[in-house]
Amino acid sequence: MKKSKIFVLAVLLLRMLVSCQTAVPAPEPHGPLPSQKQLDWHEMEFYAFVHFTTNTFTNKEWGYGDESPEIFNPTELDTRQWARIVKEAGMKGIILTAKHHDGFCLWPSKFTEHSVKNSPWKNGQGDVVQELADACREFDLKLGLYLSPWDRNHPEYGRAEYVTYFRNQLKELLTNYGDVFEMWFDGANGGNGYYGGANETRKINTLEYYDWQTTYDSIYKWSPNTLVWGVGPSEARWIGNEEGYANTTNWSLLRQKDELAGKVHYKEFMSGHEDGERWVPGEADVSIRPGWFYHAVEDGKVKSLEEVVDIYYKSIGRNANLLLNLPVDRRGLVHENDEARLMEMMAVIKADFKTELLNGSEVSASNVRGNSKQFGPGNLIDGDKNTYWATEDSITTASITFKFDAPTKFNRVLLQEHIKLGQRVKGFTVEAKVAGNWVTLAEETTIGYKRILRLDSVEATAIKINITDTKACPVLSTIEVYNAPTLVHAPQIERDKKGVVTMTSKHEDEEIYYTLDGSEPSENSSKYDAAFQLDKAVVVKAISRNVEEKVNSFPKTVKFGVSKANWKVVSVKGGNINDAAQAIDGDFGTSFRVKLPAEVVIDLGANMSFVGFDYMPKQVGNGLRLVKTYELYTSTNGKDWNKRSEGEFSNIKHNPILQVKNFTEKVEARYLKFVPTSEVERNDEVYIAELGIVE
Ligand code: FUL
């Protein structure tokens, strides 16, 4: 054979050998790994909590366990309304408090009488868990359930019999209602309670009393696809606060053995453990209102748009799932204010992630595993979560660069690790090429399932992500970049005791526009320039406007009653006149106490026309001392009185909200005399949080 032929053959053989080797092996998994159940759970990202039980009707956050099932009587309960709202918000499921610490069961459990079956709701034939399971199925949402391990009603709590009861209930919930994606076990355990009438304190050791391992084994037998959250050897962990945020460093790993030995402080949950031996990712829970349960007094205290958007970025944007509570009210509905805020929140999030900017950019990486396209950086922007960029095994630092065709503005960077192979990244930075120079925009730590950075807006021709430290070679599936619109904060609207209204925007250069007739404000409405006097009952709606970017905030609505600037309590029977101003200070948080028989006389400062009066009972605490029956008089001179209304505040015991009473005709008067004549529980004193007139 000629030498040249031998050479050609050798080259061919070599090529064949090389092509046989093109299947570059994928990186080996590193450290603890998520199960398929956990991977599916990560992808849910955002779902709703619903707190609902007898507390909703007693205005408490923790029921004592002695509440009568008789008080559970929602008037319009509609789980389809909950599911519609949750679905429209883009959330993926709902977790319901099937049983909270008070022990009342929202399903007709076979093992207790303390449930919906002894309530007037649907004549005891109802089942809230079933109705929610049906609604979730209809709206393609996943169902999760909260079963409080602590039960302040059960006579056997603290003894072995209760653990059997608890497991029986778990079996009911996990075998009768279809798939349950998450079982929620709260950490509050043991303390004082009713306990079947014992009225005592029962302490237990959470780690030992429930024998969690046996309980978990049963759960997996009954429902292998249910992920268990909370106490015991759980598959997801509390994030360490009830404000809905994770730390910026957030490992999905936990030293669970230490935790089960009581050696982990709960604050450590905010970051997880870099050296954790198990995959136990964080779930951030938070309520859209101050309380977990519905209280009418909090209708005006729904978290602001800015707060809820912040929560989104500090949970989902920090490698945690977000569990947002929408407390259901006494009607059995998610309140309109909560729905409105949730929709505003999701409108902002949708706008923030509207246009992905790396799509179509030129991407390169400092290192690619086996130089192969299979692991190339193109996988980071192909929209496929299953493909990823990976480097050679020896690599712990690497860079990926994206070049834009034209200078591009951005302020959000989203990154995801391919967590099937473990959580690896310990440090990374973001750089942008601005006017020809590389500028560092962020120095960060972990990524995990998802990390989102909010940055100041820059205009750049290229972006570089530097992986600066890893546990094993980096394996990333996604990098995305966005330019979120400026979030203009709604203005603050306040009226002082003298009736002077002031409005303030978050930034000085923003303008404020408002209406006083209930119509929606726009940049064509009245412009706010200075504080003004407003004594009448009025609804103020206002927006802030970023003039440069021509962007408006969502409107802020504030309702004011008649200004009480000139009101004075002129005489009191049964109480101390020096404290009486608390009944007319516009603050539902303060209340005036009087002993029966009592009367409170108010001077309105001038003759006024009005059609009725209102009484706000004390809102929070045990012993609300509610007025049951009353008489109401008016006078033009403070001497000659006309009785305008008398009777009872029906249902005030179960629903101590603002009580409004209309007169039979419009009245012109300067003085008001309120005479409480009895208290709901026959006590000899009552509290008055506020008295007012209805114009
Ligand atoms: C807490 C409970 O004690 C609260 O009532 C609420 O259910 C919250 C989600 O968890 O620890």
245 alpha carbon – ligand 1 mean position (Å): 16
User: Average pLDDT in the 608-627 region?
Assistant: 89
pLDDT at 22 over 70: no
596 alpha carbon – ligand 1 mean position (Å): 38
Confidence of residue 498 (pLDDT cuts 50, 70, 90): confident
User: Average pLDDT in the 467-476 region?
Assistant: 98
Ligand 1: atom nearest CA of 148 is 7
What is the per-residue pLDDT for 20? Answer: 44
pLDDT at 603 over 90: yes
Residue 102 Cβ < 6 Å to ligand 1: no
Lowest mean pLDDT across 74-88, 97-111, 201-215, 647-661: 647-661
Confidence of residue 654 (pLDDT cuts 50, 70, 90): low
Residue 567: half-sphere exposure toward Cβ, Cα within 13 Å: 29
What is the per-residue pLDDT for 4? Answer: 54
> Residue type for 114, please?
H
List phi, psi (to 5°) of 559.
Answer: -100, 130
User: Average pLDDT in the 299-315 region?
Assistant: 94
What is the per-residue pLDDT for 75? Answer: 95
97 alpha carbon – ligand 1 mean position (Å): 10
User: Average pLDDT in the 19-38 region?
Assistant: 87
pLDDT at 1 over 70: no
d(CA 256, CA 235): 10
The pLDDT tens digits for 258-282 are: 999 999 999 999 999 999 999 999 9
What is the per-residue pLDDT for 60? Answer: 86
Ligand 1: atom nearest CA of 325 is 9
The 3-state DSSP composition of the chain as helix, strand, coil percent (nearest 5) reads 25, 35, 45
* Secondary structure tally for the chain: helices H, strands E: 11, 35
51 alpha carbon – ligand 1 mean position (Å): 9
448 alpha carbon – ligand 1 mean position (Å): 27
Q: Does residue 59 or residue 354 have the better pLDDT?
A: 354
pLDDT at 301 over 90: no
CA distances from 260 to 185, 211, 251, 517 (A): 15, 11, 18, 59
Residue 162 Cβ < 6 Å to ligand 1: no
Residue 188 Cβ < 6 Å to ligand 1: yes
The pLDDT tens digits for 91-129 are: 999 999 999 999 999 999 999 999 999 999 999 999 999
Residue 210 Cβ < 6 Å to ligand 1: no
d(CA 383, CA 477): 9
pLDDT at 14 over 70: no
The pLDDT tens digits for 504-526 are: 999 888 999 999 999 999 999 99
User: Average pLDDT in the 524-535 region?
Assistant: 94
Q: Specify the residue with its C-alpha closest to ligand 1, atom 4.
A: 292
Q: Specify the residue with its C-alpha closest to ligand 1, atom 10.
A: 186
Residue 191 Cβ < 6 Å to ligand 1: no
What is the per-residue pLDDT for 589? Answer: 81
What is the per-residue pLDDT for 145? Answer: 98
| Number of residues that this document lists for the chain | 695
What is the per-residue pLDDT for 450? Answer: 98
pLDDT at 534 over 70: yes
Lowest mean pLDDT across 212-226, 261-275, 485-499: 485-499
pLDDT at 139 over 60: yes
581 alpha carbon – ligand 1 mean position (Å): 36
The structure tokens 């970023």 sit at 546
d(CA 58, CA 63): 8
User: Average pLDDT in the 141-150 region?
Assistant: 98
pLDDT at 13 over 70: no
289 alpha carbon – ligand 1 mean position (Å): 13
pLDDT at 689 over 90: yes
pLDDT at 435 over 90: yes
Tell me which of 151, 287, 292 to substitute to probe ligand 1's pocket, judged by most ligand atoms within 8 Å of the beta carbon.
Answer: 292
Among candidate residues 476, 474, 479, the one with its CA nearest the CA of residue 30: 474
The structure tokens 């006024």 sit at 608
Percentage of residues in the chain with pLDDT exceeding 70?
Answer: 96
Angle of helix 128-138 relative to helix 79-88, nearest 10 degrees, comes to 40
Residue 16 Cβ < 6 Å to ligand 1: no
d(CA 679, CA 683): 6
Q: Does residue 290 or residue 502 have the better pLDDT?
A: 502
Lowest mean pLDDT across 49-63, 217-231, 435-449, 642-656: 642-656
Q: Which long-range contacts (CB under 8 A, 24 or more apart) does 298-303 make?
A: 299/335, 299/337, 300/337, 302/337, 302/338, 302/341, 303/341
Lowest mean pLDDT across 29-38, 45-54, 249-258, 496-505: 496-505
Ligand 1: atom nearest CA of 293 is 5
The pLDDT tens digits for 314-361 are: 999 999 999 999 999 999 999 999 999 999 999 999 999 999 999 989
DSSP run (H or E) holding 206: helix 206-209
pLDDT at 18 over 50: no
186 alpha carbon – ligand 1 mean position (Å): 6
Residue 109 CB-density burial (10 A; 0-12 exposed, 13-18 middle, 19+ buried): buried
pLDDT at 296 over 90: no
Confidence of residue 23 (pLDDT cuts 50, 70, 90): confident
Confidence of residue 655 (pLDDT cuts 50, 70, 90): low
652 alpha carbon – ligand 1 mean position (Å): 26
Residue 12 Cβ < 6 Å to ligand 1: no
User: Average pLDDT in the 366-376 region?
Assistant: 97
Average pLDDT along the chain: 94
User: Average pLDDT in the 185-214 region?
Assistant: 93
The pLDDT tens digits for 535-593 are: 888 899 999 999 988 999 999 988 888 888 889 999 999 999 999 999 998 888 889 99
Residue 151 Cβ < 6 Å to ligand 1: no
306 alpha carbon – ligand 1 mean position (Å): 24
Model pTM score: 0.83
Residue 266 Cβ < 6 Å to ligand 1: no
> Residue type for 641, please?
W
What is the per-residue pLDDT for 544? Answer: 97
Among candidate residues 441, 425, 452, the one with its CA nearest the CA of residue 353: 452
Contacts of 454 (CB under 8 A, 6+ apart): 313, 317, 411, 412, 484
Beta strand 389-390 with 362-365 is unpaired
> Residue type for 85, please?
I
